[in-house]
Structure 1
Amino acid sequence: MKPTSKHRVRSVVMILASIIMLLPFYYIVVSTLKTTQEVSQHPLALPTHLYLDNYVRVFQENNILQSFLNTVYVTAGGVFFTVVIGALAAFPLVYSNTKGNKFMSLFLLGGFMVPVQASLIPLYLLMAKLRMIDTLTGLIILALPGAIFCSFMIQGYMRSIPIALFESAYLEGANLWQIFWKIIFPLLQPILVTTATFQTMGIWNDFMTPNIFINSPGKRTLVLTVYSALSEYSVDWPSFMTLSVIVIIPMVIFFLFAQKYLVKGLTMGSVK
């Protein structure tokens, strides 16, 4: 099919928009490969030579490996529990149309609409009573409200699964637990990957929760390590940008691998 002028204009607009979106990322990456003087004199130019001292200094001054492992632990635990709990909650809300379940849907929707900032004080008091302040497990527990978001996304996809599968398995003698894990859950793979992708990016990049509930340097996440480059009166820009790249790169790689499942999960749930 021969491209029309409308298609050409649309392509040019999309290319320009992509360049604008990528420019900040380009600036950050290029700045980490320059000296401070070179960054100030030629901010957008390519480096004259490969300068890796910023990365060497960052790894020497910060426990990057420990922060990375802390972030992986919190992210993996938070994503696993939010996705599984969200799927378990969506199952009865979709296949059992009772007044109790309708009320529960409204209750969860109300909880989802409450901003986290409004509940920080009671959350802190609760976590203090549970002795979960300054623990990585506490960060996983604090990520569990994300299961509400997962539940609503999974419900939309689950409604596209023919109820005949549920009914035939029930008539064959399977109980609800077997129906969920052996029939429904495997069919949810696209939307599970989609929700897991959103949760991974949210938990990995979360700053507010670790900043409030983590005190020990050895339990910092990567985002908190980036924040350590900031002081009250000055900013160590080379360290700040280098640490930012270290935080961003794993998410970029993860998103490139997960994007096809992300699109599939979002589109398949809209078609019944």
Structure 2
Amino acid sequence: MSRLLRRPVILAATLVLSLAALLFVNIPVTIIVMVVGVTVAVLVGRHQAGLFKIRIRPRGRREPLWRPTVQHQELPKPAEDPVITFAEPAIELFESRTPPLAHLQLSAGLRSQLDGFALGRTKRIVEAPDLLPHAAADAESWPHVEAAVQKTLALARARGVEIIPDGQNRLSQVLALSAAQGVLLAEWRQLEDGKTVWQGASAQIRASDAFTIQRISEAMERRQLPDLFGGIARRPQNFEVRLLLPYALASAFYSRLHGNPPRAFAA
């Protein structure tokens, strides 16, 4: 910038032009001249002080755009995750929508921690990619999935549910996905605690597992009910079809606990 273009020079020129406008034109024009002159003087001063810079980006060159990545992280484990017993599931266990382990005197704070942890684990299980194909390819997991599906179908027929012959495959797929989620949850428990400890016919699991079973059931019920009903011709009025999903999940969970911990644990 030329040395002549300095703030005092601009202010002096503004004063002269303002007086000329006041004498020969009118007051509004005088005000405009003064505003423009003062603004130019301020910008020149900032430029000379290095506070006002114009950045010119070369043509044809684009800077990489920052794209945020969202990755779910499981919440920290609760301060306490009590050991509880888990017997072979009965479908009546899921009829009521009461909070898990309502019969235990757990503090409100601990319940909140367990439920928050269960929500994180539920998200990871529900969103696990290709869970059913992976389970089908695993010789250790798939028998538990198949057994849970057959057990659930047998219970449905015993309760008076009529299955559409052409829709049984569709129904079995829905139940198999729930069962695979139960198997994954059981393997997760064994990865953390090792081989399951049994008290008679009851397995020792963690309180957070009960919360996770309920949360998975709630999440999958919203997604899978249309496919579930798509394979059913008729059902009795006193039987809720939605109960088949948590029953298949819990049955597979219970069955898988009988097995050895997954090989990843041994490694």
State the TM-score, normalizing by the size of structure 1. 0.25
Considering only CA atoms, is the larger Rg found in Structure 1 or Structure 2? 2
Bigger fraction of residues in helix: 1
Judging by fraction of residues, say which structure has more strand. Answer: 2
Could you say which structure has the greater relative contact order, defined with CA pairs below 8 angstroms and 6 or more residues apart? 1
